[in-house]
Amino acid sequence: MLDRTGDLWRAHLETRLGGVAVDLEACGFDAVLISAGSPYIHFRDDQPAPFRANAHFLHFCPLEAPRHQLLLRPGKPPFLAAWCPDDFWYEPQRVGSPAWAADFEVVECRSRPGQAGEIARRLPAGGRTAFVGEDAAVAETFGLAANPGRLLDRMDWRRAVKTPYEVACIAEANRVAADGHRAAEAAFHDGGSEMEIHRAFVAAVGCEEAALPYPSIVGLDEKGAVLHYEGKRTDVRDARTLLIDAGARVRGYASDITRTRPGTRAGGRFRSLVAAMESAQQALCDGARPGRPWAELHAEAHRSLAGVLREAGVIRVSPDEAVESGLSRVFFPHGLGHFLGIQVHDVGGHLAHRDGRRAEPPPEHPTLRTTRTLEPGHVITVEPGVYFIPMLLDPWREGARRRAVDWEAVEALLPFGGVRIEDDVLVTDGAPRNLTREHLPT
Ligand code: GLY
Ligand code: MN
Ligand code: MN
């Protein structure tokens, strides 16, 4: 599928270089130096954390290694001052001549002064160059304006609309992760522990654990109620249900997929809840249409999930009442989804305009990660969930409000944790394209 990426990459680079040229001019700059970043070294240690390149760097240059510097000057080829020191402790990463670099000027630099010299020679004389990255020392070396907010807002804004190359990368990340989800499901049905299920996922994806886009969430039974559960228990097996939220990365781009798998001992009530959530989630995916404010779809999700809970006999009030009283938030306390790209929670979600105006989430939905109106090219996760979370349920157990909930039903479902179903969806001019279901139909 990625055999077309050569052409797609070229078109992506052209589009993005055109975009950054407009943004630089609008912000009064002639060029931008983007740093890949440096490894984070743990406190009083010599061990680095797994390296993640600056996403703005990866967006223009698919090379995930530290200390590379990329200079973009409108009208000129991108200049990559690659960091390739002679080293016998670590293997130097040479750039070589991959297809993506055909349109770059690349110099492999073996020392810091050498790299600085190569960059200095190419900075526009008498011009203004911005710096984007976290290494303040690099900006200081050249006297550059570090991370100007107006420019970053514009760059973030653009990243929300994916090019066909980016869509292909995210689709491929879905294909790879789908293999992982199938292997994880098989390990669960074999009675595996969270650790064994997680290992089955990683083995099928075929990467190092540190290369996953985010730590896998593998929750058996009640752990499904911990939204970002990262434990990997080895002593619990033969569980009734599995909630797995796990993705893969391709050329820096992520997938983010959740499935809830009832096992043979799950029982009818929980199975019906999962089936109802599946229908609700698919209808919400279909609602990801251009011109639709995301907050509106999130509000629809609350009404829809309140309907599911009412049908399941968990709540006793109407869906409208559940939403108005805040009861639906007890069961669905997170946002419906978020932009997806190089970052799992991709940038630009709270921008109302490229000029940096913000649209913060409404106070009743503070965890909404995007408030944007959908446009063709947006890739967004659709991940409704209902959970049985004791700390959110407890305040409703006393007083007049307690009658809104069927507590017997809640007690019966608490051991199952919850249900979340998450797909990655491309907004188009017409019907949305579900990048996950193409590879993982259920
Ligand atoms: N995997 C984290 C999330 O779904 O947002
Ligand atoms: Mn997500
Ligand atoms: Mn997820």
> Cβ(51)–Cβ(69) under 8 Å?
no
Residue 102 has pLDDT above 60, yes or no: yes
Mean pLDDT of 277-286: 98
Residue nearest to atom 3 of ligand 1 (CA): 256
Domain with 127 in it: what CATH number?
3.40.350.10
**Predicted local distance difference test score (pLDDT) of residue 4:** 60
Q: What total number of domains does the chain contain?
A: 2
| Ligand 1 atom having least distance to the Cα of 247 | 1
Average pLDDT over every residue of 353-382: 95
- Report CA-CA distances (Å) from 267 to 178, 187, 305, 413: 26, 20, 21, 10
What three-state secondary structure class fits 306?
A: helix
State the distance from the centre of ligand 1 to the C-alpha of 7, rounded, in angstroms: 31
How many helices (H) and strands (E) the chain has is answered by 13, 16
Averaged pLDDT, 91-108: 92
Amino acid, single-letter form, for residue 214: Y
- Give the nearest ligand 1 atom to 246 CA: 1
Task: Evaluate: CB of 118 within 6 angstroms of ligand 1.
Answer: no
Range of the domain at 228: 164-434
Q: Could you tell me the pLDDT band of residue 214, with boundaries at 50, 70 and 90?
A: very high
Mean pLDDT of 268-280: 98
Residue 349: per-residue pLDDT: 96
Helix runs in 134-163, H state only: 136-142, 149-159
pLDDT digits (tens, 9 = 90+) for 24-69: 999 999 999 999 999 999 999 999 999 999 999 999 999 999 999 9
Amino acid sitting at position 381: T
Whether residues 328 and 403 fall in one domain: yes
- The answer to whether residues 144 and 217 belong to one domain is no
Q: Any residues with CB less than 8 A from the CB of 43 and at least 6 apart, and which?
A: none
Question: Is residue 1 scored above 60 in pLDDT?
Answer: no
Q: Among 102, 132, 159, which residue terminates a domain?
A: 159
Tell me, yes or no, whether 377 and 232 share the same domain: yes
Residues 169 and 155 in one domain: no
